[in-house]
Structure 1
Amino acid sequence: MELIQNTDDLSAYLIADEVIDHHHPVVRETAARLAVDAADSYEYARTAYAFVRDTIPHSEDSGELRVTWRASDVLRLGTGICHAKAHALAALLRAEDIPTALCYQRLTGEGGGHMVHGLVAVRFNGAWHRQDPRGNKPGVDARFSLDGERLAWVPDPASGERDYPALYAAPHPAVLAALRSAPDRPALWKTLPGSL
């Protein structure tokens, strides 16, 4: 699948905003701590990915009811769904000048129907590489890779699932609106879009 930038301006994928707030002290402190032993930007990206994937539990897996959407809150509170974890990883990578986009998949939800799943793409060696920091669990073994994707899920087109090829510099408005308005995670599951 060819990934498509929503803008030709690569600097758009380095911007800090209200969601990917890599100017925030919590993000800066976390990035600095992760960068200490990294020999280069690739090693830093791999370390930041593992940090978000492994130390910030997906709120569905942990039973956490709070909904986070801003990167600094995800890092501070240590919780988030896939979209929130993607925002946190994007902020950590952008804090170290690694172009990072948000991207999405349409997957079958556990209760039937479809849901939009969030992940990121990083720019290395002149190409975009998708990474899924959702968090591993039985049946899910996502890994950081620039040599073939190792995502949490591979969409099944026969089930109406798909990869969206667009690379967003900011969260998709429908996803962000659901995250921002949900009083808790059970309510969020009812309002997250089923497609983009």
Structure 2
Amino acid sequence: MTPPILAGEPWEYLGADEAIDVEHDLIVAAAASLRTGDDLAFAEAAFALVRDEVVHPLDVRDRRPTWRASDVLRERVGLCYAQSHLLVALLRAGGIEAGLCYQRLSDDGTGHFLHGLAAVLLEDHWVRLDPRGPDVGFSATEDRLLYTVRPELGEIDYPKVYPSPAPVVLDVLRSHDDGVALCEDGGLPGALED
């Protein structure tokens, strides 16, 4: 993986938007409760909360669609994108620059889907973290991802760190009312429109 490329201005990685609702009372309260040490300890605690307490709809057959960080925190369910939205919102609420990244992965059939990740600025460098599953650990020094990209299958590690969710991701999340069907019926976006 090449070093990440920032797609926004530095201050945007601390800002709020409709999906990364940093100033929502639930996000502020959760970030405050997690902030018991330095930035590194806080980032690890935020990562653990999302990884360990927010389930993926496919893992538990929970059809509730969530996309806004505060909704993900309240409902404790969300696709990889939504989990990343929550992690980024918590980190930003705690004063740490964070953004969103994506991978294009093969569905091991004839298509591809986007996978959502978070990126965080720790100890003067960006690392990508994947809160999707319990098998992924936290690191402040290197990327920790659930999936290894296989270029021979057309998979891509997109190098940009975005301050806001990709429009193609938000469009899909907002237009579906069943998170399980969205995954199983091939409704996930297949690539970034960059």
Question: If the length of structure 1 is used for normalisation, what is the TM-score?
Answer: 0.92
The amino acid across from 1:52 in the alignment is V
The amino acid across from 1:79 in the alignment is V
- What does the per-residue CA deviation read over 1:96-137, in whole Å, with 9 as the maximum and x for residues that have no partner? 11000100001122665211000010012221110001122x
Sort the Cα spacing of 1:77 and 1:110 in 2 relative to 1 into closer, same or farther, 3 A.
farther
Aligned to 1:157: 151
Q: Please, what is the CA RMSD of the aligned residues?
A: 1.3
Which of 136, 149, 170 is residue 176 of structure 1 equivalent to?
170
Aligned to 1:194: 190
Question: If the length of structure 2 is used for normalisation, what is the TM-score?
Answer: 0.93
Tell me if structure 1 keeps the 8 A contact 2:73–2:86: yes
Q: For 1:12, what is the secondary structure of its paired residue?
A: helix
Alignment of 1:58-77 (within 5 A): 58-77=56-75
Sort the Cα spacing of 1:110 and 1:159 in 2 relative to 1 into closer, same or farther, 3 A.
closer
Percent identity over paired residues: 47
Aligned to 2:7: 6
Aligned to 1:23: 23
The amino acid across from 2:148 in the alignment is V
- Alpha-carbon separation, structure 1, partners of 2:149 and 2:106: 9
The amino acid across from 2:32 in the alignment is A
Deviation at 1:172, TM superposition (A): 0.2
Aligned to 2:124: 126
Aligned to 2:104: 106
Number of residue pairs aligned between Structure 1 and Structure 2: 189
Deviation at 1:147, TM superposition (A): 2.4
Deviation at 1:29, TM superposition (A): 1.3
Deviation at 1:185, TM superposition (A): 1.6
Tell me if structure 1 keeps the 8 A contact 2:100–2:119: yes
- Alpha-carbon separation, structure 2, partners of 1:16 and 1:144: 24
Structure 1 regions of 5+ residues with no counterpart?
none
